[in-house]
Amino acid sequence: MSGAPTLALMTTTAPPLLPLPARVTPEVAEALVEGRGVVALESTILAHGLPRGENRRVAHEIEAAVRASGAVPATIAVLDGQVHVGLDDDALDRVCSDDEVLKLSVRDVGVAVALGRTGATTVASTAALAHRAGVRVFATGGLGGVHRGAAQTFDVSADLGVLASTPVLTVCAGVKSILDVPGTLETLETMSVPVLGYRTDRFPGFYLSDSGYAVPWRVDSAREAAAVAHARSLLATDSAGVVLAQPLPLDRQVDPALHDRLVTEGLATLEAEGVTGKDVTPRLLELFHERSGGESLRANVELVLANARLAGEVAVELAGMSGWPS
């Protein structure tokens, strides 16, 4: 990242926070200063959610999808103890290929910075750092949520806690279908996080177009989604984020029978292997990719790209909104 300036960005939160000590690429810094659309992107999906080899190509495609909508991509990671907002080619290469790249949730970011470590950021830590940098829109694949059996394991993704406390609009394809979907939706309601279906009344199920559950709200354009975020900020009812859930088209989803078999077998393998904690999600995704003959990977890549494109459109719309709606 040589050549990237260390920029001090102030958030609009009062009382003002200290400047975020981050390496911000010139492209992202300029877009933020000029108030143009910027989309935060997570790096965990690259380092731990997609197979090596594929991930570098997909990383480029995700950024290109954001750009195609007229917004600027800001992929976030921690490299050698420094927060990066926007990654250049070398940094992306490293995130996509270095086996030492850790998975950093919010609780880990301060530790990694203090100890000079390198890691990829999850939905939770990316959203938290994006907000700190003044980025209001974020694109990912699937949110973390309440895991099946959470009543026994207490496994609830930190993603939910951050969504509950961070005014960032997150575009996703619902929650990963390996999770307890109704439990996750109930938790989002309890945490006052609005869930908007994009051109649908159904909550998407990541690999599946329909999780089997309804969304409380529907929007039919990027402009409507942006208007929601804008209204919430004007009303100061935006202490939580917004979930904008975009389904895969029905003819692009993973075959539901294959999907159900993968979930059942994947969860059984996980239990047999004794996998717990932060390794659960990456290992499950890996098992899916191995056992679906490439189908889950195809769907995962398609939905991430569609989300990046939509997030770019929302960011551009939001950047153009000011004052009370007339």
Structure tokens that stand for 264 in this block: 């059942």
Indicate the residue among 86 and 142 with the shorter CB distance to ligand PSU. 142
Indicate the residue among 27 and 302 with the shorter CB distance to ligand PSU. 302
Determine the Cα–Cα distance for residues 78 and 98; give it in Å rounded to an integer: 13
* 209 annotated ligand-binding residue: no
- x/- mask, Mn ion, residues 98-137, rule CB under 5 A, reads ----------------------------------------
278 is catalytic: no
Determine the Cα–Cα distance for residues 276 and 272; give it in Å rounded to an integer: 11
Which of the residues 294 through 313 are near ligand PSU (CB under 6 A)? 300
* 123 annotated ligand-binding residue: yes
Residue selected from 63, 159, 210, 295 as contacting ligand PSU according to rule CB under 6 A:
159
Cβ atoms of 213 and 202 within 8 Å: the answer is yes
Separation of first and last alpha carbons in the chain: 44
Q: What angle do CA 273, 276, 279 make, to 5 degrees?
A: 95
Indicate the residue among 47 and 226 with the shorter CB distance to ligand PSU. 47
Indicate the residue among 4 and 120 with the shorter CB distance to ligand PSU. 120
* 108 annotated ligand-binding residue: no
Does residue 49 belong to the site contacting ligand PSU (CB under 6 A)? yes
Does residue 194 belong to the site contacting ligand PSU (CB under 6 A)? no
Determine the Cα–Cα distance for residues 200 and 28; give it in Å rounded to an integer: 32
Pairing of strands 6-9, 20-24: antiparallel
Q: For residue 137, give the 3-state DSSP assignment.
A: strand
Determine the Cα–Cα distance for residues 181 and 148; give it in Å rounded to an integer: 9
Cβ atoms of 103 and 282 within 8 Å: the answer is yes
Determine the Cα–Cα distance for residues 22 and 40; give it in Å rounded to an integer: 14
Determine the Cα–Cα distance for residues 223 and 198; give it in Å rounded to an integer: 11
Structure tokens that stand for 318 in this block: 């939001």
Minimal distance, residue 303 CB to ligand PSU, in Å:
7
Minimal distance, residue 248 CB to ligand PSU, in Å:
12
Q: How many other CB atoms sit within 10 Å of the CB of residue 223? A: 17
* 238 annotated ligand-binding residue: no
Q: For residue 164, give the 3-state DSSP assignment.
A: coil
Q: How many other CB atoms sit within 10 Å of the CB of residue 272? A: 8
Which of the residues 118 through 147 are near ligand PSU (CB under 6 A)? 122-124, 140-142, 144
The DSSP code for 248 is: P
Does residue 209 belong to the site contacting ligand PSU (CB under 6 A)? no
* 157 annotated ligand-binding residue: yes
Which of ligand PSU, Mn ion, none sits in contact with 205, Cβ below 5 to 8 A by type? none
176 is catalytic: yes
Does residue 77 belong to the site contacting ligand PSU (CB under 6 A)? no
Determine the Cα–Cα distance for residues 223 and 204; give it in Å rounded to an integer: 20
Does residue 42 belong to the site contacting ligand PSU (CB under 6 A)? yes
Does residue 281 belong to the site contacting ligand PSU (CB under 6 A)? yes
Residue selected from 25, 69, 75, 157 as contacting ligand PSU according to rule CB under 6 A:
157
Residues 6+ apart with CB under 8 A from 53: none
Residue selected from 23, 232, 278, 309 as contacting ligand PSU according to rule CB under 6 A:
278
Does residue 155 belong to the site contacting Mn ion (CB under 5 A)? yes
Cβ atoms of 76 and 129 within 8 Å: the answer is yes
Which of Mn ion, ligand PSU, none sits in contact with 159, Cβ below 5 to 8 A by type? ligand PSU
- Using CB under 6 A as the criterion, which residues of the chain lie in contact with ligand PSU when the complex forms? 42, 44-45, 48-49, 122-124, 140-142, 144, 157-159, 278, 280-281, 285, 300
- Interaction site with Mn ion (CB under 5 A): 155
Binding site listing for Mn(2+): 155
**Residues identified as active-site:** 42, 176
